[in-house]
Chains A and B, each alone.
Chain A
């Protein structure tokens, strides 16, 4: 029987939280640095790898067009099927994709037609305040596509009234 005088008083076991706290602090700092507080909810289309670029311009809300190797999507609706990034030859020959033109014309009429300012027939400057044209397309296209397919989408968009584009890239 051990003596009562010889027994040491044991402390309750405690978890060592200091290393865990160190780790959490590092993670917290890393996440704070990479926190993206842009309010524009941009979602990259699945199955698409944008090209890398040194561009620094940031996003603005606009009409989204995605060009993957399997199709062209306007606001996430697939309007044109592509075969390995290639459209039917007759579309290239016409340099227009009617399905894309029609959909973009609808979008233009819904969102931007009210901002149009009539230009006088004599070519003079229109009267009144001319608002900044917001009819902009954000084009996210796969890096392996060829220019012919991208230009097909651009020329279709131009036919619908969109002639300014933002090409989505991944910053180097």
Chain B
């Protein structure tokens, strides 16, 4: 009788795990098929659209479009707007030489753009003019700093991302042909999206493509 009681207790202590194991052996291959071990994302961008009646320069007085020229030895920021005067626009621009190691000064770039964003919060458009030899990885790193910034909000433990200039429009600088001596060269000829050295110049003969509202391009 005592043996029978002890056997009952022992059997109760060892549950049958075989069905659980079977379930695991079914679930694990199924999840392995759908598992992603690295996560992909996308950066929404566009190129200028060549249209006759549109311009990238914002029509409202509270917005400016920033132009970023990425050159081998520096980055240049200029601003465009239909309502601000040239002195105000020139004050928004900056020239950022590469650092000692040959890398771009992305912190200074982000700080300059943040200053513009604080002054004109409705601004969203950044026209980028990279040089031909710019590595794609470097370009993406630049866009990471121009698209959004980290903002520490009260009551939050971690800084949160906030859109900076999320609408990125790619362009390419085309060397301007030398002016012919007999003819007066028209400004902007031969330039696809000429940003101009002056801060107040219209940037692109075209309009940046509006984003589809699905991503960072249109917060």
Contacts and interface: CB of A to CB of B under 8 A. Distances in A.
Contact of A58 (B17, B25, B215): B215
A164 B212 contact: yes
Contacts of B49: 158, 163
Interface of B: 14, 17-18, 20-21, 24-25, 27-28, 31-32, 34-49, 52-53, 130-137, 139-141, 143-144, 147-148, 161, 170, 172, 209, 211-217
Given A134-B212, A163-B46, A171 B17 contact: no
Interface size class of A (residues with CB under 8 A): 35 or more
Interface in A131-172: 132-134, 136, 138, 141-148, 150-151, 154-155, 158, 163-171
Interface stretch (A36-44, A76-84, A108-116): A36-44
A73 to B, nearest CB: 16
B47 to A, nearest CB: 5
Contacts of A54: 144, 148
Contacts of A123: 52-53
Contact of B209 (A141, A148, A163, A171): A163
24 contacts: A21-B21, A25-B24, A28-B27, A34-B36, A34-B37, A53-B140, A54-B148, A55-B147, A55-B216, A56-B41, A57-B43, A57-B216, A59-B41, A144-B136, A146-B134, A147-B130, A151-B130, A151-B172, A163-B49, A164-B44, A166-B42, A166-B44, A167-B45, A171-B41
Contacts of A25: 24
Nearest to A59: B42
Given A24-B28, A163-B47, A53 B136 contact: no
A47 to B, nearest CB: 15
B7 to A, nearest CB: 10
Contacts of A17: 17-18, 21
A31 interface: yes
Contacts of B35: 31, 34-36
Contacts of B45: 164-167
A107 to B, nearest CB: 17
B47 A154 contact: yes
A145 B21 contact: no
A144 B20 CA distance: 48
Interface of A: 14, 17-18, 20-21, 24-25, 27-28, 31-32, 34-37, 42, 44, 50-60, 95, 123, 132-134, 136, 138, 141-148, 150-151, 154-155, 158, 163-171
Among B20, B136, B211, the most chain A Cβ lie within 10 Å of the Cβ of B136
A150 B136 contact: yes
A95 B44 CA distance: 22
A55 B214 CA distance: 13
Given A28-B27, A34-B35, 12 more contacts: A36-B39, A51-B139, A53-B143, A57-B217, A60-B214, A95-B172, A123-B52, A132-B212, A163-B209, A164-B212, A166-B42, A168-B41
A151 B27 CA distance: 45
B218 to A, nearest CB: 10
Given A35-B31, A57-B216, A169 B133 contact: no
B31 A143 contact: no
A27 B23 CA distance: 13
Contacts of A167: 42-43, 45, 140
B140 A20 contact: no
A31 B34 CA distance: 9
B40 A50 contact: yes
